A and B are shown apart, each in its own frame.
Chain A
Amino acid sequence: MSLAVFLILAAASVLFALLVVFTKNPVHSVIYLILAFFAIAGQYVLLNAQFLAVVHIIVYAGAIMVLFLFVLMLLNLNMDTEPTQTGRWKLGAAIAAGMLLVTFIGALKGGIQLSAVTDHNPQVGLVQNLGRVLFTDFVVPFEIAGILFLAAMVGAVMVGKRDVTI
């Protein structure tokens, strides 16, 4: 049962991820990306990490993709006004993406040698345990990430301010 759900979700996430790339219309791409996020959130629920699943939905589907859609609607891209890419750009993009793919495959090759985690604590994804771990074992990285976010927020406000001279 669990395996069947996993396979369906995995197939759905790969399918939607491919559709993100192959769809011509950018708004459709965004919608497929949202569906892919939902499939991944389903995987988190399968791992009993409900907190992660919900935060994933709130942050990615609820906030970031809304902003993506917002910008796309304002730009109103379409085939007529979009500048056509020259062959050189296409070649450059293909080489860059290919190199990224090689990096990913290299990273995953090391990961496959790890044995599958079977005996992990099924309660580890629940919010109490996650909070305890974040504020004891990983408190330094967690606080640094917090400061990084604060700096990014202040920076965004500074960039967004109209009448400031930098």
Chain B
Amino acid sequence: MHSILLFDAALVLEKSIFVVVLFIITLTVAAYATYGERKIAAFFQDRIGPNRAGPFGLLQPLADGVKFFTKEDFMPNAAERWLFILAPASFMFVACMTSAVIPWGTELTLFGKPVSLQLTDLNIGVLYILGFTSLGVYGIMIGGWASNNKYSLYGSIRASAQMISYELAMGLALIAVVMMSGTLSLKEMAIQQAGLNWNIWYQPLGFLIFFICALAECNRAPFDMAECETELIGGYHTEYSSMKLGMFLFAEYINMFVSCAVIATVYFGGYNFPLIDPGWLGGLMGPIVMFAKTFFFIFVFMWIRWTLPRFRYDQLMRLGWKSLIPLAIINMLLTGAGVLLFDK
């Protein structure tokens, strides 16, 4: 690993194919998460949900996509033209970047050649994820400002204040895990959690803090202050229409998918499951376990959204600054003491 610029053509090809496959999987999962969201909402509200397009409404995401693309792409008169276009693009870009460091499995044997099921094993994977989550706010802020609309501006200001507040607690919760496992690489973390030796048993409080912060970072209810239909008629994307709006909404689902994958990797053993070797089926068992865990957390995210009412804005700030951050610091101190005493 002398320089990242020393590479060979085969590796470039392998990684390029991996990027494309990962991108397709991410988009598919995000698309079907919208379908899942609507079906689950329907289940919670004793309705049927989408059932017209295809069997059980399974083609609904496709129909939604076609609808978004064929709608009029409206550009407000007073908007900052370039920033208005840049905002959804940057939001989408940042959402897609985060999945690069997640280990989806150990190795897959393709054409007699082992292929690592992780795009890149950065030795600072955890920081990479934190970095890209902190950039996610720009799409919302720039979009809200460029729309030149009071409601949009309110939405983007709320979003940025919320994200800055919850990033702190999120980082502090992750530091406790890093202290315990002694590495910043997500692959190392996954290897350490073999069998049922998951981090959740050592970090229950840290997991709770991280989970709440992940909900807030994804702008999901009960933390969806940035769009808050009843007060801000959509918030930062009030002025957006057509696929630009679609990209904002879609990127949120990608964020949710990646957050759930990070939760599964950091706290729930990643591709490990007791009595199941991630190398089974030529290496496919790892990704299957990983995706099962990820989908479970996506379901929990939706479950929370359709069960809990939205916070008031001051409650949200109080929870972030006066409860989660002190709790995360206490958790960090306890972890430090535990590492010192038991030398885990």
Contacts and interface: CB of A to CB of B under 8 A. Distances in A.
Contacts of A34: 138
Nearest to A52: B124
Contacts of A54: 124, 127-128, 131
Interface string A92-135: 00000000000000000000000000000010001100000000
A67 B124 contact: no
A151 interface: no
Contacts of A58: 127, 130-131, 134
B153 A73 contact: yes
Nearest to B184: A127
Interface in A41-75: 45-46, 48, 50-51, 54-55, 57-58, 61-63, 66-67, 69-70, 73-74
Contacts, number: 74
A57 B141 contact: no
Contact of B141 (A63, A73, A122): A73
Given A54-B128, A127-B124, A70 B157 contact: yes
B315 interface: no
A61 B138 CA distance: 9
A66 B145 CA distance: 13
B141 A69 contact: yes
Interface residues of A, number: 28
Given A2-B5, A63-B134, A73-B156, A127 B164 contact: no
Interface in B132-171: 134-135, 137-138, 141-142, 144-145, 153, 156-157, 160-161, 163-164, 167
Interface centre among A28, A46, A127 (most CB of B within 10 A): A127
A10 interface: no
A48 B4 CA distance: 8
How many B residues are at the interface, by size bracket?
20 to 34
A50 B123 CA distance: 8
A50 B3 contact: no
Contacts of B83: 27-28, 31
Contacts of A46: 5
A5 interface: yes
The B contact surface, by secondary structure, is helix
Nearest to B168: A63
Contacts of A69: 138, 141-142, 145, 160
A50 B163 CA distance: 24
Contacts of A48: 2-4
A18 B134 CA distance: 25
B12 to A, nearest CB: 13
Nearest to A57: B131
B2 A122 contact: yes
A27 B135 contact: no
Given A58-B131, A62-B134, A66-B164, A27 B124 contact: no
A63 B168 CA distance: 10
Contacts of B156: 73
A71 B72 CA distance: 33
A62 B124 contact: no
Contacts of B330: none
B284 interface: no
B164 A67 contact: yes
Contact of A73 (B145, B164, B167): B145
B91 to A, nearest CB: 14
B157 A66 contact: no
Nearest to A122: B2
B124 A51 contact: yes
Interface string A1-36: 110010000000000000000000001100100100
14 contacts: A2-B3, A27-B80, A27-B142, A31-B142, A46-B5, A50-B124, A54-B128, A62-B167, A66-B134, A69-B160, A70-B141, A70-B160, A74-B157, A127-B123
Interface of B: 2-5, 80, 83, 122-124, 127-128, 130-131, 134-135, 137-138, 141-142, 144-145, 153, 156-157, 160-161, 163-164, 167, 184
- Please list the 3 inter-chain residue pairs (A to B) with the smallest Cβ-Cβ separation, ordered nearest first: A62-B134, A54-B127, A57-B131
